[in-house]
Structure 1
Amino acid sequence: MNQMFSPDGFDVAGSGPLYLQLQRRIADAVAEGRLAPGDSLPAERDMAAMTGLSRVTVRKAVQALVAQGVLVQKRGSGTFVAARVERLEQALSLLTSFTEDMARRGRSVESVWLSRALHAPAPEEVMALGLGAGDRVARLERVRRSDGVPLAIERASLSAQVLPDPMAVEASLYALLEERGLRPVRAVQRISAANLGAKDADLLGVAPGVAGLRIERVSYLPSGRVVEFTRSLYRGDAYDFAVELKLAPGGEATDGRTTKG
């Protein structure tokens, strides 16, 4: 570590801004295993003293690495090398639950429940679920973990006619719906980029402002009735979503629109 923070080697003239040079040193040490997940870094004032750089320069390098997910800062504790997260490739051609998907990979699943209750529906829930006046909505909010690592925040809404007892959902919502003959058979899913706010970032164990994936899904029964409206946030450093494209008759590329549940 002393060599990494040595004042030697910082090139004011030709190697780019000083904060980028320090950023590269730390990132290289993490990539090469000289800094392991969970290792703590010296305080900013100590890094400044060791490198001969200003605290502003050190802070800029550290904040850039926090934003990239390489480092994580814990209030009152300091700066640490972030835990490595295995990237998962998720096909967008299968309608499976989180529990089923992780089981297929041989990974454990855990839900940290934030809320399970009946509510008066919000306007977007009324529109998505086709609810009428006086209808209630079951909301399920939880952090989905695999092998102890938080991967997603899932916020699902269902008509109270479909799910009158939200507390009945334990590990898998889809398993419960299947038992009741209400499992969806198709879904429309939209994925967009998002920067995680402080509350969601804390739930996922990452720094506020880091990149995430916002996924909105509407799922349907064989009859065409909407059964589920879900808005989820996934860690951007943990997921790659993939879809197979095929050449349609007439020569235009197309893709299946059935997606993950």
Structure 2
Amino acid sequence: MLSQAIGALQKEQATPLYLQLQKVLREAIAGELVKSDEAIPTERDLAEHFDVSRITVRKALEGLVSEGLLSRRRGAGTFVVGGRVEKSFSKLSSFSEDMQLRGRTPSSTWVSRTAGAVTPEEALSLGLSPGSQVYRFHRIRYADGISMALEYSTVPGFCLTSETVVQESLYEALGQAGFRPVRALQRLRAVAFTPEQAQALGVEAGQPGLFIERRSFLADGRTTEFTQSYYRGDAYDLVAELNDL
């Protein structure tokens, strides 16, 4: 058992028990007594093993979730967070390319792939005239089978022959059609996942995430992509290289 592997808490010490429990769990994670993406024992089991209240256990786990060491998955339990992914803002690349570059296997669950007339918001973002055709792609993105992000992409109709040509990588499909973007503008902000978003990603409602909006352009200035993504905050680090030029 985990408690046997890392010992008991020192109840005679002045340090609060929840902080002691956080410390031993943190050390267990660092020492790989509990592996990445592995579930830790339930609150009830931890309370019994360490002879503390479930309130103490819950407070300890909430702190480790806030630190990004643990993640709660709806209906599955509490898991050790896997290796975080660094996303560079200095290079224009797709989700699939990012994952493959890091030796991870990208995959998707399609929520929808549709064609239709552009909405006013899409027309403004893509620089299209009213009535223009667009393709919309909504999916859940995974790395090594672990949910990473919700993705909503809209592409002008002139960029693709059909919505079905996009299988795994949108940028691969755009490249094959001769419309891969060469530059992009991105903005991001912190968000808390709604119950619907959390359910799709298998995390707790209210868990922090990163919202990234991207508009990508061709060399001639036409917009070729408008994507809004919601990334898990416990799995992603965004990196930007700065200089004084």
TM-score w.r.t. the length of structure 2 is 0.82
- Are the aligned partners of 1:10 and 1:21 in contact in 2 as well (CA < 8 Å)? no
**Residue equivalent to 2:60:** 61
- The aligned counterpart of 1:70 is 70
1:125 aligned to which of 122, 127, 130: 122
Indicate yes or no: 2:178 matched with 1:181.
yes
Q: Are the counterparts in 1 of residues 74 and 202 from structure 2 also a CA contact under 8 Å?
A: no
Distance 1:132 1:119 in 2: 13
Match of 2:102 in 1: 105
Q: Trace 1:25-36 onto structure 2 (pairs within 5 A).
A: 25-36=24-35
CA distance in 2 between counterparts of 1:139 and 1:198 reads 23
Distance 1:165 1:64, change over 3 A: same
Identify the residue that residue 79 of structure 2 maps to in structure 1.
Answer: 81
Mapped to 1, the partners of 2:100 and 2:47 lie a distance apart of: 47
Separation in structure 1 between the aligned mates of residue 225 and residue 134 of structure 2, nearest angstrom: 10
How far off its partner does 1:162 sit?
3.1
| Residues 69, 206 of structure 1: 8 Å contact kept | no
Greater CA drift, 50-59 or 230-239: 50-59
Alpha-carbon separation, structure 2, partners of 1:73 and 1:147: 16
1:198 equivalenced with 2:195 (yes/no):
yes
Q: Which runs of 5+ in 1 are unaligned?
A: 249-261
Residues 1:11 and 1:167: Cα distance change in structure 2 (over 3 Å) = farther
- Equivalent position of 1:9 in the other structure: 10
1:112–1:102: structure 2 CA closer, same or farther, 3 Å change rule?
same
TM-score (norm 1): 0.78
Task: State how far apart, in whole Å, the 1-side matches of 2:203 and 2:106 are.
Answer: 19
Q: CA deviation at 1:154?
A: 1.6
Deviations 1:185-225 (A, max 9, x none): 11101122222233333433433333322111001112211
What is the alpha-carbon root mean square deviation over aligned residues? 2.8
1:109 to 1:55, Cα distance in 2 relative to 1, 3 A = closer
Structure 1 71/138 Cα, relative in aligned 2: closer, same or farther at 3 Å?
closer
Q: Distance in 1 between matches of 2:42 and 2:240?
A: 43
Q: Which residue of 2 aligns with 1:143?
A: 140
- Give % identity: 39
Cα deviations across residues 97-130 of structure 1 (Å, max 9, x unaligned)? 2223333334322122111012454442222012
Q: Which has the larger radius of gyration?
A: 1
Q: One-letter code of the match for 2:221?
A: G
* CA-to-aligned-CA distance 1:137-177 (integer Å, 9 cap, x gap): 32101122222222222210122343452122112212222
Match of 1:233 among 230, 234, 240: 230
Mind listing any 5+ residue stretches in structure 2 that lack a counterpart? none
d(CA) in 2 for partners of 1:62 and 1:246? 39
Matched residue type, 2:170: L
Q: Which moved more, 1:168-177 or 1:129-138?
A: 129-138
Going from structure 1 to structure 2, the CA distance change for 1:5 and 1:204 (only over 3 Å counts) comes to farther
8 Å contact 1:184–1:221 — kept in the other structure?
A: yes
Give the number of equivalent residue pairs. Answer: 241
Q: CA deviation at 1:239?
A: 2.6
**Separation (CA, whole Å) in 1 of partners of 2:102 and 2:54:** 45
Contact persistence 2:87–2:239 (CA under 8 A) = yes
Name the CA distance, whole Å, in 1 between partners of 2:30 and 2:240. 30
- 1:135–1:11 distance in 2 versus 1, CA, 3 Å: farther
Change (3 A) 1:246 1:58: closer
Q: Give the match for residue 256 of structure 1.
A: none
